[in-house]
A = this chain, B = another copy of it.
Amino acid sequence: MSLRPLEPSLVPPAEIARRLTLLQQRLQALELDAALVLQNADLYYFTGTVQDGVLMVPAEAPPLFFVRRSLSRAGEEGRIAEVIPYRAYSEIPRLAEERGWRRLARLGLELDVLPVTLYQRLQKAFPAADMVDLSMEIRVLRTRKSSWEVEAIRAAAAISARMAARLAAVAREGMTEVELAAEVEAEARRAGHQGQVRFRRFNQESFYGHLLAGPHSAVPAFLDSPTGGRGPYPAVGHGASFRPIRRGEPILLDLVGACHGYYADMTRTFVLGEAQDEVLRAYAAVRAIWEVARDTLRPGIPAGAVFAAAAAAAADLGYGEIFMRSGEGQLSYVGHGVGLEIDEIPFLARGFEMPLEEGMVLAVEPKLTLPQVGVIGLEDTFLVTAKAAEALTEVPRDLTVLQP
């Protein structure tokens, strides 16, 4: 079975069943009676569909999917046998009780994403329940990708490849970053890009990702990301701008391929005309850091050790001060998990001790910020296997010099 862009596919029932079983094992271990799942990415993960509803997963009984809308789609796309209409959260305890579910004293919720007032409505609906944060458990469950999920990420990577090819074909001196982005984004859509890119963390947002050129690519921004960019307007505050791209400056393509809900995160660096020696040297260093980081991606290695190895390599190469931004904005970070959200755990960041495991999918994105020149970077999305890291993004990794 193979997943492709442009070919919508339902999540196989066995996928959902396995995920729910793993969640139930965690609920039992934590002595929770049930999980309530509401957020779009998590709902898709555990049901196979995104509807306006609440998935209740009892620790020891089949799940109940309470749906406001759309009931018909919850039934057609979703893999939960019991779909129950409701209008207000306050009805849910009674509806659950009618189906034999009385024991709802300890509930696990996605407290990292649920807004306070929505949470308060849930507390009111379950006045006797003790509500605890289940978000880290869900995020940990989601770190280990199945082969079906890896296929979805490969399909997204095929879109990344189309974006890189399109950039190489159409980039010209004098185009603005946004004009170039328009062409690349349209190609992504024709290739089956889903549009929506989901972040988990509050206030993090991105539109495809970053297409930035020259010194402007080094403009800092609010994001937890090694690139910022001026953005089109202060209200957006990062990403492509209306600045024309000039000959000789690095063009950073850091866009997200996306289909079947999954992402592939990839960065490639291009130059129009001729690359300065400084850029070539920095690119060779980035490539070397990328190799060091890739070679550390093994089951059992703490996520933070990947950052440590990459940072040590950057320092050895004389680029320690401009590795992952510079000055006040420097990050102790070189990558992140990728799946149904673009900012999944584990973070390949200082102090993040979660050990890597087989089946994790991680973006590794070493970047150097050359003052007055711009950001030089290389990023691939890797699958951690028993023996080696397998790159799911497969575009050639050389610095690409284009005709201006």
User: How many Å from the CB of A350 to the closest CB on chain B?
Assistant: 14
Number of copies of this protein chain within its complex: 2
B178–A189 touching, CB < 8 Å: yes
Chain B residues in 8 Å Cβ range of A38: 202-203
In A173-188, which residues have CB < 8 Å from any B CB? 178-179, 181-183, 185-187
User: How many Å from the CB of A220 to the closest CB on chain B?
Assistant: 4
Would you call A221 an interface residue if the criterion is a C-beta within 8 Å of the partner chain's C-beta atoms? yes
Chain A interface residues toward B at CB < 8 A: 6-11, 38-40, 44, 48-53, 69-73, 77, 85, 109, 111-120, 133, 135, 178-179, 181-183, 185-187, 189-190, 192, 194-196, 198, 202-203, 205, 207-208, 219-224, 228, 230-237, 239-242, 259-262, 328-329, 340
CA distance A71 to B119 in the complex (A): 33
CA distance A241 to B259 in the complex (A): 12
Contacts A196-B236, A234-B49 given: A220-B260 contact, CB under 8 Å?
no
Chain B residues in 8 Å Cβ range of A262: 235
Question: Can you list 18 pairs linking A and B with CB atoms under 8 Å apart?
Answer: A7-B242, A50-B234, A52-B203, A52-B222, A70-B222, A70-B329, A73-B219, A73-B237, A77-B237, A85-B328, A118-B202, A182-B185, A194-B231, A194-B235, A195-B207, A233-B261, A235-B340, A236-B261
User: How many Å from the CB of A28 to the closest CB on chain B?
Assistant: 24
User: How many Å from the CB of A223 to the closest CB on chain B?
Assistant: 8
User: How many Å from the CB of A342 to the closest CB on chain B?
Assistant: 13
A190–B182 touching, CB < 8 Å: yes
A10–B234 touching, CB < 8 Å: yes
Chain B residues in 8 Å Cβ range of A72: 220
CA distance A32 to B8 in the complex (A): 51
Chain B residues in 8 Å Cβ range of A239: 195
A235–B44 touching, CB < 8 Å: yes
